[in-house]
Chain A
Amino acid sequence: MLQLELPDHERQVLCARAIWICVGCETCLSRCPKEVDLPRAMDFLRQEALAVDTVSPDASDIVAFHRAFLGSIERHGRLFELGTVLGYKLRTGHLLQDAALAPSMIRRGKLGALPHRTDRQAAAGIFARVRALKEPGK
């Protein structure tokens, strides 16, 4: 896609599931003899796929997770784990996923019922300004 700049390749890549399975472990960059910045390319491809709305249906749950995660930060400034997981379940319909895990997490004190709060206005402000820069006028 990068070398030949043919539209077919672009379509193929942006619709691919692979860009969402990539977790950003950066092993590829570490091994590449030409130090091609693949993690950066992956980030870019993900953002492009979102912008032109070609996210692979196979990856919809992964995107849903990211959206739930970021939604939590926008709302609370920090990750509200319970809220994020519930948000994910609602978006994907995987209502029972990890349901068994919840009680053991709570028992171990690892799942708080309430979000940790910080300066919510600051967080919301950041998200709003980022959005404004991308879509001026909205």
Chain B
Amino acid sequence: MSRIGVFVCHCGENIAGTVDCAVVAEAARSLRGVVHSVDYKYMCSDPGQKLLKEAIRDKNLDGVVVAACSPRMHEPTFRAAAEEAGLNAYQCEMANLREHCSWVHAKGEATTAKAIDLVRIQVEKVKRNAPLRPIRVPVARTALVLGGGIAGIQAALDIANAGNQVILVERSPSIGGHMSQLSETFPTLDCSQCILTPRMVEVARHPQITLYTYAELERLDGFIGNFKATIRKRARKVDEKICNGCGVCTQKCPVKKIPDEFNEGLSMRRAIYVPFPQAVPNRPVIDTANCTFFKSGKCRACEKLCTAKAIRFDQQDEVVTREVGAVVLATGFRTMGTNQFPEYGYGRYPDLIDGLKFERLASASGPTSGAIKRPSDGKIPETVVFIACAGSRDEQKGVSYCSKICCMYTAKHAMLYRHKVHGGKAYVFYMDVRAAGKNYDEFVRRAVEEDGVKYLRGRVSRVYPDKGQLVVKGVDTLLGGEPLEIRADMVVLATAVQAQHGSEELAQKLHVAYDKYRFFAEAHPKLRPVETNTAGIFLAGACQSPRDIPESVAQASGAAAKVCGLFSRPELAREPIVAVVDRQPPPVFSHCVGCFLCRSACPYQAIEEEAIRTRNGEIIRTVAHVNAGLCQGCGTCVATCRTKAIDLQGFTNEQVFAEVVAI
């Protein structure tokens, strides 16, 4: 026979103002199984909780219903109190008399009657509650960081410095990301590579960090604390351990005309190459799609000339699997290409470039050693037009968001141009100037006031070539909207920031949510910005949405903190509200018939196969088994099961049915 205690909370006037709590407590007293029923002003207060604990001990209660606010408010409070009094936490339930009753109805008999109904429903459920224990799951204290840009580097360093292992996987041959392509960073105009490369070296030397470059994640199996990552290390065709980085191969390779990705196509690289001089690791890689040997079997010049005999044409990809406890996604972004702009020439005018190309022109280590030169003829442009919001905030181009960084880098570009070409004219066509960070607005004002950059508020409707220059047709709306034409020697588009290539596929591999722009989705936009809805996978940097370097670094450290929090205990405790497949004595063994409809229905890949065997190991039957570590307790499998062989602990079919019947 049950011994249930009911505690009706007034919540000050929140409940008592509309519901007659004394009447509800009185009504509960007469329910079968209820041996104690009181009402009180504030159950969540210390005296209120004392009331609860004393009643549990004195009256030997084996179930408790707290009729008060939403469980989302105080369920943990009351469950903890119940545990302290010696009652299993999961035998304490809450009836929501506030959000579900007093806050949505007017004062009256019907409202009180509904409150009584709500209490009765929970009493019937609690009578059937069984004690449950949190599930303990071991944690592998290794983090997998995907992406070797500034966010990935920061996250890796923070996690490693806290004493954990880190595996950093980067798709391209070197870490560094877009930040390594920048010339100077706003608002300080620090040389980008100068502040980045020390971090890159730190990552390479760190004893706790394993760096896999030219590698990609193939699969991720498992669950939080217990992931299994399958990583493909692509063959560089160079033995990294023997190579000494002398660079002779990259100078002697006869294939010279491959557009250099790092320099955004402004220069050429060879078939065997190191992406940039400060690359980490500083080891070359052979581009087998363009290498003469791989295309026709001839050449082998690099092999002959290599001082360390490190070239390995027969090297194969290596696939490794690693156990990791958490994953940090830091895969970065790409920029919209100039070919997406029909009104600016479909990207066919060589002197109409995007922001990243301008960064390479302005970079001291770039193809022009930092001189701003026109890609078409190498001359120094005397008039440069910068077009902000190129593609961003433009529904016609399918990008309705603001790319956040362009107002700042456009000001920076205009300033750099004016610093390098003293007599040059710089025009910026803008819609709004968004400079919201620390020292950001001052930075833009400096461009206008000290460096003489001319800001025009208006859009550019068309750019077309004429006699070697580009005619820019725009408008200055602050001066009355007169159309104006500027003949420019170079036009720089601040193109939209978009999701990295392959984001969708990666998100699907990891079962991480993403939005229509293929940016990864955070668990809650305000309060959980570095987590995803997939337990154990965290976000850092622009792969979530456009952002600048300080934000990426801050978020990376935030993600690292979450990972370290996860790793701080040897075991993870998870809520036991999970599904369980029933087992019966032989000859039934289980009501599960092995149809595995539940497996297709489960959104979390939590259903596995389990073989029921004889003593000799022969398989009698294969039934479903729920991985308690992955199961999120959604109940979809319970609804799908044809034979009702699977049930949800804490919300069993019997309990829920009892609730319904009690109405």
Contact = CB atoms under 8 A, between A and B. Distances in A.
A31 B342 CA distance: 9
Nearest to A34: B395
Contacts of A35: 395-396
Nearest to A31: B461
A105 B393 CA distance: 51
A33 B462 CA distance: 13
Contacts of A31: 343, 461-462
B390 to A, nearest CB: 10
- Of all A-B residue pairs in the complex, the 10 with the closest CB atoms, nearest first, are A33-B394, A31-B461, A33-B396, A35-B396, A31-B343, A34-B395, A33-B395, A35-B395, A33-B393, A33-B397
A133 interface: no
A62 to B, nearest CB: 21
Interface string A1-31: 0000000000000000000000000010001
B394 to A, nearest CB: 4
A32 B343 CA distance: 11
A34 B56 CA distance: 64
Contacts of B393: 33
Interface in B354-405: 393-397
Nearest to B343: A31
Nearest to A35: B396
Contacts of B395: 33-35
With a 10 A CB-CB cut-off, give which of B393, B395, B396, B459 has the most chain A CB atoms.
B396
A79 to B, nearest CB: 33
Interface of A: 27, 31-35
B482 to A, nearest CB: 13
Nearest to B394: A33
A106 B485 CA distance: 42
Interface of chain B, helix or strand or loop or mixed? mixed
Contacts of B397: 33
Nearest to A33: B394
Nearest to B393: A33
A31 B461 CA distance: 7
15 contacts: A27-B461, A31-B343, A31-B461, A31-B462, A32-B396, A33-B393, A33-B394, A33-B395, A33-B396, A33-B397, A33-B459, A34-B395, A34-B396, A35-B395, A35-B396
A31 B458 CA distance: 13
Contacts of B459: 33
Nearest to A29: B396
A34 B392 CA distance: 11
Nearest to B431: A33
A110 to B, nearest CB: 33
Contacts of A33: 393-397, 459
Interface string B440-466: 000000000000000000010110000
Interface string B284-295: 000000000000
Contacts of B394: 33
A33 to B, nearest CB: 4
Given A34-B395, A35-B395, 13 more contacts: A27-B461, A31-B343, A31-B461, A31-B462, A32-B396, A33-B393, A33-B394, A33-B395, A33-B396, A33-B397, A33-B459, A34-B396, A35-B396
B244 to A, nearest CB: 53
B41 to A, nearest CB: 54
A70 to B, nearest CB: 31
A33 B461 CA distance: 10
Q: With a 10 A CB-CB cut-off, give which of A27, A32, A33, A34 has the most chain B CB atoms.
A: A33
Contacts of A32: 396
Interface in B545-562: none
A53 to B, nearest CB: 27
B623 to A, nearest CB: 56
A31 B394 CA distance: 10
Interface string B589-611: 00000000000000000000000
Nearest to A28: B461
A27 B483 CA distance: 14
B268 to A, nearest CB: 36
A51 to B, nearest CB: 27
A33 B396 CA distance: 5
A60 to B, nearest CB: 25
Contacts of B461: 27, 31
Nearest to A27: B461
A16 to B, nearest CB: 13
A31 B396 CA distance: 8
Nearest to B462: A31
A32 B462 CA distance: 12
A76 to B, nearest CB: 40
A134 B395 CA distance: 37
A34 B396 CA distance: 6
B93 to A, nearest CB: 52
A35 B461 CA distance: 13
A122 B349 CA distance: 53
B464 to A, nearest CB: 13
Nearest to B392: A33
A33 B392 CA distance: 9
A71 B605 CA distance: 73
Interface string B526-541: 0000000000000000
Interface string B416-451: 000000000000000000000000000000000000
A35 B343 CA distance: 15
Contacts of A27: 461
B341 to A, nearest CB: 11
A130 to B, nearest CB: 34
A35 B396 CA distance: 7
Contacts of B396: 32-35
A33 B397 CA distance: 7
A34 B394 CA distance: 6
A27 B393 CA distance: 20
A8 B360 CA distance: 51
Nearest to B389: A33
A97 to B, nearest CB: 29
A34 B459 CA distance: 13
A46 B104 CA distance: 53
A35 B459 CA distance: 14
Contacts of A34: 395-396
Contacts of B462: 31
A9 to B, nearest CB: 14
B191 to A, nearest CB: 35
A35 to B, nearest CB: 6
A34 B398 CA distance: 10
B473 to A, nearest CB: 10
